[in-house]
Amino acid sequence: EAQVTQNPRYLITVTGKKLTVTCSQNMNHEYMSWYRQDPGLGLRQIYYSMNVEVTDKGDVPEGYKVSRKEKRNFPLILESPSPNQTSLYFCASSPLVTSGEGEQFFGPGTRLTVL
Amino acid sequence: RKEVEQDPGPFNVPEGATVAFNCTYSNSASQSFFWYRQDCRKEPKLLMSVYSSGNEDGRFTAQLNRASQYISLLIRDSKLSDSATYLCVVTYTNDYKLSFGAGTTVTVRA
């Protein structure tokens, strides 16, 4: 089954404790992206990647890191989480047609709480 | 000012009614437009792309007005299952970023 998986689905952590949220897709998509969703603000793009070893900042990259060592995986790293990073996070992938025209396939989301 | 703005609603309509709402965008370099549907904090899913000439998919009609910089979504003969949040998405020429609106909530009541 074609899908995007994220782990963990739920995480409660404390300020400053490094964490990684994994994202994996099995559709051989070039484009992958991370979003956070907050009430009233909608989805905001954190980072995106056009292919292996090619990443770029979205609208809200501060406090986050990503890597794309393999085509299928795109982990999101919070080196020192803070309470303002409490949010619902979505990973997405799509074929890279042109300028993001491909349909975005989203993972199920990770609900993160930073105390 | 946000790049993509939507009326948050909620639009509360009876079954069988027609409901329509818009999404405005501020960047004239906007290239492609989409409507996604999101159910109760689940993952968004593509509803339809929006083409320059307007397009229809069953009960759903999407239109683009480049001069006034907005897109619209119209839902005819609303069903209870249409209750969801509808997200407007914009992509840009020569840029791989995507911008999402905050969403318009539609509630269809029996």
Q: Between the CA of residue A94 and those of A14, A103, B25, B52, B94, what are the distances in Å?
A: 33, 6, 23, 22, 17
Instruction: Provide the pLDDT for residue B1.
Output: 61
Q: Which has more pLDDT, A101 or A107? A: A107
Instruction: Provide the pLDDT for residue B70.
Output: 94
Instruction: Report chain B residues whose CB lies below 8 A from the CB of A44.
Output: 100
Partner residue opposite A42 with nearest CB, options B45, B93, B101 = B101
Cα–Cα dist A63/A26, whole Å: 28
For an interface test with B, the pick among A37, A94, A101 (most B C-beta atoms closer than 10 Å) comes out as A37
Instruction: Provide the pLDDT for residue B104.
Output: 96
Average pLDDT over residues A56-72: 96
Maximal C-alpha separation, chain A: 40
Answer yes or no: are the C-beta atoms of A90 and A106 closer than 8 Å. yes
Residue B10 has pLDDT above 70, yes or no: yes
Q: Please give the distance of CA B67 from its chain centroid, rounded to a whole number.
A: 18
Q: Quick one: pLDDT band at residue A88, thresholds 50, 70, 90?
A: very high
Cβ contact A44–B100 (<8 Å)? yes
Q: Which has more pLDDT, B105 or B96? A: B105
3-state secondary structure of A84: helix
Instruction: Provide the pLDDT for residue B101.
Output: 93
